[in-house]
């Protein structure tokens, strides 16, 4: 008789434990153990517990392949989350670890395998090859592609988060925090005190919630009616606009993508948008400051160009219109589309095409956690026909989708790679661009780690090409996820380790660094509503001298809209209770 000592670790989240029956069978190359009821004196499988048992076999099992877990109802159904199982072999000190991290719901059987990462080429045992195949077949049944709306990336087939498998749902603590969780930060107060100042406006272009818009301006756009004389008073010393452009000190925010987007109607009242062009100057003493704002992409003969020398309230309102456009663009494009929806494509493809033992699955899994639930909630609660954006944002409803579709049509794989994006926008030497400096540091760190990790499993480019699971994954990403994007620039085949390293770095970077840059500070910038208004209730001003404080108050969101803006930006941008600091590794 062979006796194997096993430990079973139950999840640490609320309701992870169970009082149902749990059986275990060890499966080896030479046979199976007895089907054993795991039952110690007292309570088993309590939340956070690591319980020890013995499983017997009438004969040696040979190399251990699988652990079969079975859960059966005892009086009432009680779901169970198993973290892992360890098995100590009778004649060896070695302890094998079988990761699980799955919910067992109902009367169910689940087979898990030892956790060493293996590519398909490393697999030779028929039982394990069958296990890989059956795992992916089950995942492809559970995780299906859906076209939620034409012209944006495809997503998971789920009407709401309740339709998702429990394994990708929020833990109970996170769900409770998400649903029942206002707070004011020091940066919020600083923003409230300095938002009118031009240097602070410029700082937000570099390090606010949408730091990817700014680009170098080497020539004034033809549709921007700015002359050198208009901005001369903003130049340093005896310098001129032409000199500063040649020196690389003039920059542009161009919200052309907002032009003609359908506007919202809230409580029967039409809302308004603008598609501004904002010229900025890197002043040697004052930093990056706005020097001219035009609120229309196709100006007529009476078009206004707002300047710092204009009446103070007119200049302040012009900056508000730029920041209002910023709210729409950062929420819908920089945040929703370029992080959430892009990452969801990789999440769905990973679940469908890579078994849990695949090294790329292991690498990506921590960064894709909760993606499907938060995106499902977003589609049903935020951006749906009757969602929160419809209630408070000037492009809620149809406009939001039109804006996302416009950006998706021009989205490129190159623009998702920070070193190339900064180069293409001409901002590699722009001072005080902390977002750029931090992004490049973290990009390099992620890329270095990914490259080193892949080197453990792929010794050559040919091994990347020969990995059928990996090739099925990239095909799913490019042909099922990013549909109708002929100029996206991502191949449907992976040809080299370098290509794979870059792609995985893109996925990890945008699910972590880029999402944090766009999401985490939004309450700080948006809580003081005049700094980043979610909607405008009056059209852009047609007369600079007619702008009064009454005009501004009638234009800004009302009290109800302002409260919702504060609540939703706090709700989305606050620190998550289960966040893992970059300075702390999980246990």
pLDDT of residue 386: 85
The mean pLDDT of 73-81, rounded to a whole number, is: 91
- Tell whether the model's pLDDT for residue 586 goes beyond 80: no
Per-residue model confidence as pLDDT tens digits over 222-241: 999 999 999 999 999 999 99
Q: What length does the chain have?
A: 587
Is 17 marked as a binding-site residue? yes
pLDDT score recorded for residue 571 = 77
538 close to 269: Cβ distance less than 8 angstroms: no
Per-residue model confidence (pLDDT) at position 284: 96
Mean pLDDT over the full length of the chain: 94
**pLDDT digits 0-9 by tens, 185-213:** 678 889 999 999 999 999 999 999 999 99
Tell whether the model's pLDDT for residue 48 goes beyond 90. yes
pTM above 0.85, yes or no: yes
Q: Is 113 exposed, middle or buried (0-12, 13-18, 19+ CB in 10 A)?
A: buried
CA distance 235 to 283: 7
Q: What percent of the chain has pLDDT over 70?
A: 96
Is 515 part of any known ligand binding site? yes
At residue 393, the pLDDT reads 94
Q: Residue 574: is its pLDDT beyond 80?
A: no
Residue 210 is labelled as binding a ligand: no
160-182 pLDDT per residue, tens: 999 999 999 998 877 776 665 54
Distance (Å, whole) CA 373 – CA 170? 7
Q: For position 587, what pLDDT does the model report? A: 43
Taking residues 507-521, what's their average pLDDT?
Answer: 95
User: Which uninterrupted H or E stretch holds 243?
Assistant: helix 241-246
Helix (H) / strand (E) containing 465: helix 461-466
Q: Taking Cα atoms as reference points, which of 346, 237, 214 lies closest to residue 290?
A: 214
Domains of the chain from N-terminus onward: 2-115 (2.60.60.20), 186-327 (3.10.450.60)
The tens digit of pLDDT for each residue in 537-555 reads 999 999 999 999 999 999 9
| Predicted pLDDT of residue 188 | 84
Per-residue pLDDT at 134 exceeds 80: yes
Distance, CA of 289 to CA of 324 (rounded, Å): 18
Q: How far apart are CA 539 and CA 529, in angstroms?
A: 18
- Measured CA to CA, the distance from residue 566 to residue 340 in angstroms comes to 21
pLDDT surpasses 80 at 269: yes
**Residue 37, CB-side half-sphere exposure with 13 Å CA sphere:** 9
Determine contact, residues 256/297, Cβ cutoff 8 Å.
yes
pLDDT tens readout for residues 430-484: 999 999 999 999 999 999 999 999 999 999 999 999 999 999 999 999 999 999 8
Q: What is the pLDDT of residue 491?
A: 95
Q: Would you say 300 is a known binding-site residue? A: no
Distance CA 322, CA 2 (A): 74
Q: Is 324 annotated as a binding residue?
A: no
Q: Reduced to 3 states, what is the DSSP secondary structure of residue 281? A: strand
Model confidence at 364, pLDDT cuts 50, 70, 90, reads: very high
**For 48-52, 256-260, 523-527, which range has the lowest pLDDT when averaged over its residues?**
523-527
| Residue 125 near residue 463, CB atoms below 8 Å | no
Handedness of CA 533, 539, 540, 541 (dihedral sign): negative
């Amino acid at each position: 008789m062979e006796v194997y000592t096993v430990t079973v670790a139950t999840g640490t989240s609320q309701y992870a434990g169970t009082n149902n029956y749990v059986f275990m069978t060890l499966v080896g190359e030479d046979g199976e153990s007895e089907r054993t009821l795991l039952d110690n004196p007292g309570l088993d499988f309590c939340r956070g517990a690591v319980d020890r048992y013995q499983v017997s076999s009438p004969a040696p099992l040979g190399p251990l392949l699988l652990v079969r877990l079975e859960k059966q109802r005892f009086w009432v159904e009680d779901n169970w989350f198993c973290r892992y199982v360890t098995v100590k072999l009778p004649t060896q000190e070695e302890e094998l670890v079988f990761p699980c991290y799955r919910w067992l719901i109902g009367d169910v059987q689940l087979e898990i395998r030892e956790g060493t990462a293996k590519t398909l080429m490393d697999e030779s045992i028929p039982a394990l090859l069958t296990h890989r195949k059956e795992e992916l077949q089950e995942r492809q049944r559970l995780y299906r592609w859906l076209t939620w709306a034409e012209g944006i990336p495809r997503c998971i087939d789920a009407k709401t988060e309740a339709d998702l498998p429990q394994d990708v749902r929020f833990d109970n603590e996170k769900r409770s925090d998400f649903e029942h969780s206002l707070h004011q930060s020091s940066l919020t107060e600083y923003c409230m005190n300095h938002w009118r100042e031009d240097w602070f406006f410029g700082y937000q272009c570099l390090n606010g919630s949408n730091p990817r818009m700014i680009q170098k301006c080497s020539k004034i756009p033809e549709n921007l009616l700015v002359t050198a004389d208009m901005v001369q008073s903003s130049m340093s010393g005896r310098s001129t606009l032409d000199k500063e452009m040649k020196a690389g000190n003039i920059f542009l925010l161009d919200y052309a993508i907002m032009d003609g987007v359908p506007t919202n109607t809230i409580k029967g009242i039409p809302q308004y948008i603008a598609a501004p062009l904002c010229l900025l100057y890197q002043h040697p003493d004052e930093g990056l400051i706005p020097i001219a704002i035009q609120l229309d992409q196709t100006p007529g003969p009476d078009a206004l160009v707002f300047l710092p020398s204009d009446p103070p309230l007119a200049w302040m309102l012009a900056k508000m219109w730029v920041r209002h456009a910023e709210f729409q663009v950062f929420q819908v494009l920089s945040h929703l589309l370029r992080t959430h929806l892009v990452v969801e494509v990789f999440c769905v493809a990973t679940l469908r095409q890579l078994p849990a033992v695949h090294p790329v699955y292991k690498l990506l899994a921590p960064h894709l956690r909760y993606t499907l639930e938060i995106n499902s909630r977003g589609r049903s609660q935020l951006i749906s026909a009757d969602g929160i954006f419809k209630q408070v944002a000037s492009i809620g409803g149809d406009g939001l989708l039109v804006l996302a579709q416009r950006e998706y049509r021009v989205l490129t794989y190159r623009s998702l790679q920070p070193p190339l994006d900064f180069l293409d926008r001409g901002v590699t030497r722009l001072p005080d661009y902390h977002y750029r400096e931090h992004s490049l540091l973290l990009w390099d760190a992620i890329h270095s780690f990914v490259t080193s990790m892949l080197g453990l499993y792929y010794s050559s480019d040919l091994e990347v090409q020969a990995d059928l699971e990996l090739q099925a994954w990239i095909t799913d990403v490019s042909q099922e996820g990013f549909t109708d994007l002929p100029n996206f620039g991502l191949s449907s085949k992976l040809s080299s380790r370098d290509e794979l390293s870059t792609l995985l770095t893109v996925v990890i970077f945008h699910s972590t660094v880029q999402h944090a840059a766009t999401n985490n500070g939004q309450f700080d910038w948006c809580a003081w509503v005049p700094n980043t208004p979610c909607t405008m209730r009056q059209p852009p001003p047609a007369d600079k001298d007619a702008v009064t404080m009454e005009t501004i108050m009638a234009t800004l969101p009302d009290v109800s809209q302002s409260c919702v803006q504060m609540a939703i930006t706090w709700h989305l941008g606050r620190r998550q209770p289960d966040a893992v600091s970059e300075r702390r590794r999980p246990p």
